Amino acid sequence: MTSISIIHNPRCSKSRQTLALLEEKGIQPVVIEYLKTPLTIDALKDIYTKLNIDSVRDMMRTKEDEYKAANLSDTNITDEALFEAMATTPKLLERPIVIHGDNARIGRPPEAVLEIL
């Protein structure tokens, strides 16, 4: 059986709800507290591929002050620069993200992750 991981922030209500939902389903995921252990650029790229989303910005918290201060909404900024921003400022990564094999989903709403279990 493929292990299931959650990119988790225990201070985030959606992240806590998603973790609780997994546990209710009898799943004990590997919990990755990304603020304590920031993800590498390669790990972020891997997650991006598994999310199957249109834009790197779709996995970013675009309303954070750090996003605005770094002018990351500028469409001339490369994906590589966006991955670097998330690696150096983990707060910019949207959470929670559940990863199961080659698939991942952002838990907003928490039930969105059920489609990959």
Q: Which of 5, 12, 43, 84 is catalytic?
A: 12
The CATH architecture one would assign to domain 4-116 is: 3-Layer(aba) Sandwich (3.40)
What residue segments make up the domains of the chain, in order of their start?
4-116
Q: Is pLDDT above 70 for 80?
A: yes
- Annotated active-site residue 12? The verdict is yes
Residue 63: other Cβ atoms inside 10 A: 7
Residue 7: other Cβ atoms inside 10 A: 28
Listing DSSP states for 24-75 in one string gives: HTT--PEEEETTTSPPPHHHHHHHHHHHT-S-GGGGB-TTSHHHHHTTTT-T
**Contact call for residues 48 and 59 (beta carbons, < 8 A):** yes
pLDDT tens digits, 97-106 = 999 999 999 9
In 3D space, the residue among 65, 58, 55 whose CA is nearest the CA of residue 89 turns out to be 65
pLDDT tens digits, 54-66 = 999 999 999 999 9
Q: Is pLDDT above 60 for 1?
A: no
Rounded to two decimals, the pTM is 0.95
Q: Is pLDDT above 80 for 2?
A: no
